[in-house]
Structure 1
């Protein structure tokens, strides 16, 4: 695999796509989950597997790392007679890990993205260098560029990872809710930066808002995330209206208003140092619950 990481790989006969399918089957997860693990848009993975789109070298590097196979085997070189990935070509097609480095949890691509998100939260996107990410991952800048050729690729991956993590937490939390009113309370709780981890997530989101105004790709992801979030809230409100828990309001309009209130309050919370005078996470949660009680609850 000697091409540039961002270049497209030819796959006239669909052999590369077929090998990627074999990797997904061997990993034992759904196609969507595999896309999450390689930090790739599920629709792009689907189009690449169907032949409508060609994989990039960097994407195949992430597939190889996540599936623990040779990148050369994905391209059809050095294929063993048994049909299983060979073990000799990996070092030649992607950077070696140091002898003392432990395997990254979830694979190198996810480790890179997790550390990128952490550093963005601490320093801001434009203050984070590839060298900083490489140091945090105990690897080389070449390894970072091999999986994510440029800063835009890293930013897109970071946004996508944050979206996936938030969606997974949202699904898990609402599945445990007792009723629709509790579902809405759980959604509000998830968006309230009570913990250090949630403050970090909001710090990343605030940094990415500015990038969304400048980047078409990140802007598209930003729009998609909010579309999904508002659809989730609107669905809860719609069900609450149908059963009489909430007033007969327009679910989409109510979801838009609640989202705007959450975003505005969260920015005030993050501008306040914990323990100092200002808007606290508790203040935010009380204000949001009061808004729900005043405008939605059917008394």
Structure 2
């Protein structure tokens, strides 16, 4: 019986894991970066490479797409039958052992990333439960079979969309803080983090709208709930670390960093929800400027040391 996209592939001898490892090494990027490009939980990739977890058909399809290799080679068949229905093969620059081909660079985008980006856009515009796989396929100018080839079901698509937003959010924060040099000053870094969480741009609004769907699904789905916990743990840890450094620098009061991070991130969530509702047509609502001013006021009254205020 043919494997379906969600099936896990037997790899008793570790041959598939070894081929995937070769693909990752050939790209020249880190394992975590490769996981980001195939929209996969880095810990799942690590466990699959170590042999404690089996790859799914869909994950191998995304790996083949990102590494520009033949999916049949990854599976050890040496055939092209497992190539995505609408993904053309790219001429190789290096031979792969056992048959098939590979290149030595990860493309900046591929079919899986296109699918995820269009999913994010459609969720932001219509809500997750109003978006059909057929809508995503039409937006990507492909077939529903191609969508399912990379992401077996709606839950996997939502998880991938949220993970992509998480990665984009983390990358944006790192880039902006690096550009402004805010890492030298904890107060400036915290202000920059809060500015990045204020939904002003279209991209920021899209990400926040996806978060709203994440909150709703997290209460019903164990898998999405775990992703929700993971994101907020990372986000609160980031804020707590900045507060902790600010205390050491003498710019913040001596407070409990974790407790302060919990309150501040909750305030960000609540205000962002009001901003999105106002943009949707609510009267006398909260705008991005109001949100940003309220966040800075909280920092000034609750965190800044008297001499720093």
The equivalent of 1:252 in structure 2 is 258
Give the Cα separation in 1 of the matches to 2:256 and 2:22. 47
Q: Is the contact between residue 274 and residue 280 of structure 1 (CA under 8 Å) also seen in structure 2?
A: no
Alpha-carbon distance, 1:156 to partner: 1.1
The equivalent of 1:227 in structure 2 is 233
Asked whether 1:186 is paired with 2:192, we answer: yes
Asked whether 1:95 is paired with 2:85, we answer: yes
The equivalent of 2:117 in structure 1 is 114
Give the Cα separation in 1 of the matches to 2:299 and 2:71. 52
The equivalent of 1:282 in structure 2 is 289
Q: Is the contact between residue 2 and residue 93 of structure 1 (CA under 8 Å) also seen in structure 2?
A: no
Tell me the alpha carbon deviations over residues 50-79 of structure 1, each in whole angstroms, 9 at most, x when there is no partner: 11111111111111111111110011122x
Between Structure 1 and Structure 2, how many residues are aligned?
Answer: 285
Which 4+ stretches in 1 moved above 4 angstroms?
none
Q: Is the contact between residue 278 and residue 286 of structure 2 (CA under 8 Å) also seen in structure 1?
A: yes
Q: Which moved more, 1:243-252 or 1:119-128?
A: 243-252
Q: How does 1:59-98 map to 2 (within 5 A)?
A: 59-78=59-78, 89-90=79-80, 93-97=83-87
Alpha-carbon distance, 1:92 to partner: 5.2
| Long gaps (5+) in structure 2 | 90-106
| Long gaps (5+) in structure 1 | 79-88
Tell me the alpha carbon deviations over residues 241-279 of structure 1, each in whole angstroms, 9 at most, x when there is no partner: 112100111111111111111111111111112896421
Give the Cα separation in 2 of the matches to 1:227 and 1:237. 15
SS at match of 1:298: coil
Aligned CA distance change for structure 1 residues 76 and 274 (closer, same or farther; 3 Å)? closer
Q: Which residue, 235, 239, 242 being the options, matches 1:236?
A: 242
The equivalent of 2:9 in structure 1 is 9
Q: How does 1:128-143 map to 2 (within 5 A)?
A: 128-143=131-146
SS at match of 1:90: coil
RMSD, aligned CA? 1.8
